[in-house]
Amino acid sequence: MASEEPSPIENMRTQMDRAQEYAGVDQNVFERMKHPERTLEVSVPILLDDGEERVFRGYRCQFDGGRGPYKGGVRYHPSVTMEEVTALAGWMSWKNALVDLPYGGAKGGIAVETKELSRDETKRLTRRYTEGIRRMIGPQTDIPAPDMNTNPQTMAWMMDTYSVYEGHTVPQVVTGKPVEIGGTPGRVEATGRGVGIVTEQLFEHLDNSIDGATVAIQGFGNVGAWAARLLAQAGAKVVAVSDITTGLYDPDGLDVIGLAEYAGEGGALADYGGPQAEAIGNEALLTLDVDVVIPAAVANVITTEIAEDLQANVVVEAANGPTTTAADDVLIERDVPVVPDILANTGGVIVSYLEWVQNTQEYAWTLEEVNAELERRLVGTFDEVIGAYTDREIPDLRTAAFSIAIDRCARAHSYRGLFP
Ligand code: GLU
């Protein structure tokens, strides 16, 4: 049995191994796909506001480039290591292949607690990091985007820094930019919107209605907060949400819009002054008696213990890698469907692709066009995953999704062949 705290990269490789049986990928190509193509580690020294200097570690991993330019976010978090970034870059590769975007997968990050930095320090950190990785990224080579604790402003600084070196504005080097400088309408809420769409699709598939369904969401950053808003709009009852400071639980439903606006301005849930709700721990939230649990924070939060105690009917993975492979086994055994991260949180990168297309064509779309295209692609992929799961008698949705993704990637490698 896998150890309870597997490294994310081990987790990802086990997921690939399980899918290999159903994908039938050539063993040589498969072996190649298990290893990152390259990872850069950079030193990011910055001047702090008090005149001191501090050095941070930054990374960018390009995992698989068989299907096109590398694509994936940049996260700022104390847990960032080369290994974590590598696993996340792998997941990006399979995510992009699953939704059939013409991209490979990448991920970057800096080990930093952003709450300890001022806005100016964060700007200097971002610019210095961008300089560090700028020979690796580019509109045709590797296109970063936001991830944990990075946002449109971070992307604006990255775009500007890259453009300064190029001598002209290059909007399509990053996605998730503010709309004023080439961002697309709909990108900020895209991941949360996608989580809402796949949740609704799953309910439909199970012959249930989202109307009145109870939802608990762990993590109330951009993704969690938008998922909460959009699910509430679709008729679901969001009864519990949490951030790093606390969880809030109200069986009658929380004031999701008020909470999302408050959190959007940087407010901690522990200090929320709005309608009162019961305080609840992060683990208790995951095992609440609700219809849907949505982990939207960090990796490895659904362990075997949580999986055994889980009362929800379905899990929708808004975070990357929230379920350990050992916990996956428990949930398969217990017949609890899990919509895997590489399907559930793909809305963000789908709209990133639409932003990049608009930048490349120098033609802007409307919000309605973006949302319609997001929904079309996500619903099509959801149906494809359900189709594989049913037709090939695959035990779970994750393995079904991975089998489609690695098969698509392997075909690209087979056609391109091995160099030299
Ligand atoms: N960071 C997001 C993810 O994990 C978005 C990546 C992108 O838009 O390139 O999917």
Ligand 1 center to 330 CA (angstroms): 28
Q: Which residues of 172-199 are buried (b: 16+ CB within 10 A; e: fewer)?
A: bbbbbbeeeebbbbbbbbbbbbbbbbbb
Q: How confident is the model at residue 4 (pLDDT cuts 50, 70, 90)?
A: low
Domains present along the chain, CATH in parentheses: 36-180 (3.40.50.10860), 190-344 (3.40.50.720)
Ligand 1 center to 146 CA (angstroms): 6
pLDDT surpassing 80 at residue 5:
no
pLDDT surpassing 80 at residue 215:
yes
Closest CA to ligand 1's atom 10: 349
Average pLDDT in the 180-204 region?
A: 97
| pLDDT one-digit tens code per residue, 26-47 | 999 999 999 999 999 999 999 9
Q: Atom of ligand 1 at shortest distance to CA of 88?
A: 4
Ligand 1 pocket by Cβ (under 6 Å): 71-73, 145, 147, 175, 320, 345, 348-349, 352
Tokens in use for 256?
């999701």
| pLDDT one-digit tens code per residue, 334-359 | 999 999 999 999 999 999 999 999 99
Which residues belong to the active site?
Answer: 107
Confidence (pLDDT) at 93: 98
pLDDT surpassing 90 at residue 274:
no
Q: Atom of ligand 1 at shortest distance to CA of 148?
A: 1
- Please tell me the pTM assigned to this model: 0.96
Average pLDDT in the 223-238 region?
A: 97
Q: Which percentage of the chain shows pLDDT scores above 70?
A: 99
| pLDDT one-digit tens code per residue, 156-182 | 999 999 999 999 999 999 999 999 999
Q: Atom of ligand 1 at shortest distance to CA of 146?
A: 1
Ligand 1 center to 161 CA (angstroms): 20
Ligand 1 center to 107 CA (angstroms): 8
pLDDT surpassing 90 at residue 419:
yes
Closest CA to ligand 1's atom 8: 349
| pLDDT one-digit tens code per residue, 78-125 | 999 999 999 999 999 999 999 999 999 999 999 999 999 999 999 999
Mutate to test the pocket of ligand 1, among 80, 86, 147 (most ligand atoms within 8 A of CB): 147
Q: What are phi and psi of 233, to 5 degrees?
A: -60, -35
Ligand 1 center to 348 CA (angstroms): 6
Mutate to test the pocket of ligand 1, among 70, 92, 142 (most ligand atoms within 8 A of CB): 92
Confidence (pLDDT) at 24: 86
